[in-house]
Amino acid sequence: MASSNATLRAFLYGLPGVDRVGADQRAATLGTRSIKTTAKAEAIDLAISMVDLTTLEGADTPGKVRAMCAKAVRPDPGEPSVPRVAAVCVYPDLVACAASALSGSGVKVASVATGFPSGRTSLEVKTADTALAVAAGADEIDMVIDRGAFLAGDLARVFEEIVAVKQAAGDAHLKVILETGELATYDNVRRASWLAMLAGADFIKTSTGKVSPAATPPVTLIMLEAVRDFRAATGRMVGVKAAGGIRTTKDAIKYLVLVNETAGEDWLDPAWFRIGASSLLNDLLMQRQKMATGRYAGPDYFTLD
Amino acid sequence: MRFEYAPAPESRDVVDIKPSYGLFINGDFVDGSGTAFKTINPASEEMLAEVAAADEADVDRAVTAARKAFESWAALPGRERAKYLFRIARIIQERARELAVLESLDNGKPIRESRDVDLPLVAAHFFYYAGWADKLGHAGFGADPRPLGVAGQVIPWNFPLLMLAWKIAPALACGNTVVLKPAETTPLTALAFAEICVQAGLPPGVVNILTGAGATGAALVNHPGVDKVAFTGSTEVGRLIARSVAGTGKKVTLELGGKAANIVFDDAALDQAVEGIVNGIFFNQGHVCCAGSRLLVQESIAEELLDALKRRLGTLRLGDPLDKNTDIGAINSAEQLARIRSLTESGELEGAERWTASCPLPDKGFWFPPTLFTGVAQSHRIAREEIFGPVLSVLTFRTPAEAVEKANNTPYGLSAGVWTEKGSRILWMADKLRAGVVWANTFNRFDPASPFGGYKESGHGREGGRHGLEAYLDV
Amino acid sequence: MSETGRLAVRKTYKLFVGGAFPRSESGRSYVVSSSKGDFLANAARASRKDARDAVVAARKAFPGWSGATPYNRGQILYRVAEMMEGRRAQFVAEVVDADGVSARKAGELVDAAVDRLVWYAGWSDKIGAIQGAANPVAGPYFNLSTAEPTGVVAVVAPPFGPLLGLVSVVAPVIVTGNTCVVVASERAPLPSITLAEVLATSDLPGGVVNILTGHTGELAPWLAGHMDVNGIDLTGCDPDLARTCEQEAAENLKRVLRPAKTDWLADPGLDRMTTFLETKTVWHPVGI
Going from N- to C-terminal start, the domains of chain B cover: 12-256+459-472, 261-440
Pairing mode of beta strands C277-285, B437-440: parallel
Chain C residue closest in CA terms to B423: C284
Chain C residue closest in CA terms to A188: C288
Chain A residue closest in CA terms to B442: A22
Asked if A184 and C288 come within 8 Å (Cβ–Cβ), the reply is yes
- For residue B82, the distance in angstroms to the closest alpha carbon of chain A comes to 33
Which amino acids of B are annotated catalytic?
255, 289
In this complex, the chains that touch B, judged by 3 or more CB pairs closer than 8 A, are A, C
Residue C1: which pLDDT band, with cuts at 50, 70 and 90?
A: very low
Tell which CATH architecture fits domain B12-256+459-472. Answer: 3-Layer(aba) Sandwich (3.40)
Q: Give the tens place of pLDDT for each residue, B263-304.
A: 999 999 999 999 999 999 999 999 999 999 999 999 999 999
**B431-453 mean pLDDT:** 98
What is the number of structural domains in chain A? 1
| pTM for the full predicted model | 0.96
Pairing mode of beta strands B47-51, B37-40: antiparallel
User: Could you tell me if residue A301 is inside a domain?
Assistant: no
Pairing mode of beta strands A87-90, C152-156: unpaired
Residue C4: which pLDDT band, with cuts at 50, 70 and 90?
A: confident
pLDDT of residue B2: 87
User: Could you tell me if residue A244 is inside a domain?
Assistant: yes
Q: Give the tens place of pLDDT for each residue, C148-186.
A: 999 999 999 999 999 999 999 999 999 999 999 999 999
Domain range for A128: 5-293
ipTM above 0.85, yes or no: yes
Q: Which residue type, as a one-letter code, is found at position B355?
A: W
Question: Which pairs with CB-CB distance under 8 Å and at least 24 residues apart come from B190-193?
Answer: B190/B155, B190/B160, B190/B161, B190/B164, B191/B21, B191/B24, B191/B51, B192/B95, B192/B98, B192/B99, B192/B102, B193/B161, B193/B164, B193/B168
**Is A146 one of the annotated active-site residues of the chain?**
no
User: Could you tell me if residue A49 is inside a domain?
Assistant: yes
pLDDT of residue A2: 56
CATH number, domain B261-440, options 3.30.1330.40, 3.40.309.10, 3.30.70.20, 3.30.300.30: 3.40.309.10
- Measure the CA–CA gap between A148 and A275, rounded to whole angstroms: 26
Question: Which pairs with CB-CB distance under 8 Å and at least 24 residues apart come from B94-99?
Answer: B95/B192, B95/B196, B96/B120, B96/B123, B97/B10, B97/B14, B98/B14, B98/B15, B98/B192, B99/B161, B99/B189, B99/B192
- Measure the CA–CA gap between B288 and B232, rounded to whole angstroms: 11
Q: Which residues of A touch B (CB under 8 A)?
A: 16-19, 21-23, 25-26, 32-40, 42-43, 46, 222, 225, 256-257, 260-261, 265, 268-269
User: Could you tell me if residue A97 is inside a domain?
Assistant: yes
Q: Give the tens place of pLDDT for each residue, A221-274.
A: 999 999 999 999 999 999 999 999 999 999 999 999 999 999 999 999 999 999
**B404-422 mean pLDDT:** 98
User: Could you tell me if residue A304 is inside a domain?
Assistant: no
Q: Give the tens place of pLDDT for each residue, B300-357.
A: 999 999 999 999 999 999 999 999 999 999 999 999 999 999 999 999 999 999 999 8
Asked if C141 and A21 come within 8 Å (Cβ–Cβ), the reply is yes
CATH number of residue A38's parent domain: 3.20.20.70
- Measure the CA–CA gap between B371 and B393, rounded to whole angstroms: 9
- Measure the CA–CA gap between C13 and C29, rounded to whole angstroms: 9
- Which residue segments constitute the domains of chain C, with CATH numbers given? 51-285 (3.40.605.10)
Query: What share of chain C in percent tops pLDDT 70?
Result: 99
Phi, psi angles (nearest 5°) of residue B287:
-80, 65
C240: pLDDT strictly greater than 90: yes
Mutation for C interface: A18, A20, A190, most C CBs within 10 A: A20
User: Could you tell me if residue A131 is inside a domain?
Assistant: yes
pLDDT of residue C3: 65
